[in-house]
Structure 1
Amino acid sequence: MTTKIAVLGAGSWGSVLANLLTENGHEVTLWSHKASQVAEMNEHHTNTAYMHDFEYEHNLNVTDDMKVALTGAEVVLFVVPTKAIREVSAQAAKILVANQQQVTVVHATKGLEQDTYKRVSEMLAEEIPAANRDGIVVLSGPSHAEDVAKKDLTLITAAAENEDVARKIQKLFMNPYFRVYTNTDVIGAEFGAALKNIIAIGAGALHGLGYGDNAKAALITRGLAEISRLGQSFGANPITFIGLSGVGDLVVTATSVNSRNWRAGNELGQGKSLSEVIDTMGMVIEGVATTKAAHELAAQRHVEMPITDAIYDVLYNGAEVRSVITGLMQREGRPE
């Protein structure tokens, strides 16, 4: 059965998900605010700023007119940076209200809002009226766009408070190389997705400094403990953090050169400044802003997150990477 789907955000992940949904037989319109990108994708079926040497499905529609993308859509997938979620969802809401249109809202964005510390689903719920949405679904899990584009075997989670809505989205995405599980723990799925980017920066920094597998494994393990502590303080199910949207997403992001956050940390470990890293990356490094939000949120809720605090000191206080590692290793001994 064909479903009309609007995908908002034509970066690497948004465009590859739009392509996958098109492959699955759905009528997909991908929205970008960049006219040049729209022209390239419609004429050449490429997206060279984000995906090298990849050709998109020729029947994937791309537009810079959000009204064209949204009108008639049954599902709207947001894949824009966290800092753009409010602006883009507010634009979408105006169109949905004017059309008297109800959609299933889905997002694949991984971060926390600055200052409010709100999760992406909370922002979407505030911007899109309840009358215009039948549910909000979170897509998360170990899934680099580059690997999905190559049809590498990929497993992710669709999390929604209403499991029927999660199952609806599960069916849209499932195919022989892309498997989706459902979950009702939206809080856990979103905290796992957002906070793993912090630990990935740390893992990259360890690599840049020349540390080996022992150090990386230790960081990932203790990083997961921090992620779980903060998530559970908001009511997340601890089991979620040992699933795809928890340890699964953390492992792939903290060990792969395809991860922007890992690459950013690697360059920091090699001695580059944060401003140099941001200037050369060319794409949003979600973990930088998320580190600030998580550091402040943990302090507010009295949740211990020493690794996050150390990475915050490197990113925002100019601390030297080796010195914060020494500080972490010399903390007072305690039970695991």
Structure 2
Amino acid sequence: MNLLYYPYINLPDTEWTIRTLPYYDNVSSIVPTQYFHEPERYEPFMREAVQNELITPVNPMNVLDNPWEVTRMFDEYLNQNKGILKRRRLPIQRNGISHIHAGKYSFRENGVHMHADKLNNGVFYNLIQMGLAERIDDYWYGVEPKTAYELMNFITSVVACKIDYQPVTDRITDNCFSTVYAQNKDIELRTRQYKRDLILKEMIPYPKQIDLTHLRQFKDRHHDLLTAFSNKVEQIALNPTITPESPLFTMVLDEMKAAKEELSARMNESHLGDIVFGTICGTIAAGLGFLASPVLGAIPGLLNAIYSACRIERPESAIDQTGLKYLALVDKRLRRKSR
């Protein structure tokens, strides 16, 4: 499985990343064109990971066939939600007159900085016209925070759909499954996910400190073993029909325990450092970050925009009712709203 990280350019130097890198074939991040030519702009950890081919930079403008049409779907989403525009615009633009210094509300100062090379200029021009962004310099825009996160969520989802990757984010709490399903009124489903989370704790071996060059060598040497283990993780964690009480759950869990011991031994042999064990959260993708986003949970219209954009880039994906494999995890209520 291949992952596409969002919402930032640089994957963080954290346990989340260290838990993620060993278990997936390719981990990518959306990166501006400027960084391809000037890799010194990466943070040190990210630069080393890119150099060791553990993280692959992806530029949407090189991937999408119809970037202008795709971003038009995002513009339409915003324009169709006038309440969003009213709430998010700068107060001085919203009311005409402000008795508070304009700098207090400047998106240059308080917005999320987004690089111009990630998308076509049209989307940023339209955000400025809507009062949701300001230009900082030749390369950067300051964007209203909620809008910026939605835009990165949108573009990551469409690019992931186009290249058949899974979106993933580190913006999930430790109780990730509980977080994802916290707003689901299906008590049985929430209970099942909570039990699964408890059972799978301390199952994922990963090095405490890591040498990225050694990790690259380890992935190349033990690719099949890592892939088999991550497949078992996803089989037991992401299939809602495999309940903690089922025989299949017990069988797969036993297989995972055996694989866990073998992986731990191989990591020790490869001198990756002290091996520790974490929760499942850091090693599964399948859109958990996408589903956990409070933005998407509150605004189903963004799902429609993503779906429409994916149909532009991959018309064949419309065969699926969502056009996005990872949306299969969305609870039935959310899927009904997104149609």
For the superposition of Structure 1 and Structure 2, which TM-score range results when normalised by the shorter chain? under 0.3
Task: Compute the TM-score of the two structures, normalised by the length of structure 2.
Answer: 0.25
Larger RCO: 1 or 2 (CA < 8 Å, sep 6+): 2
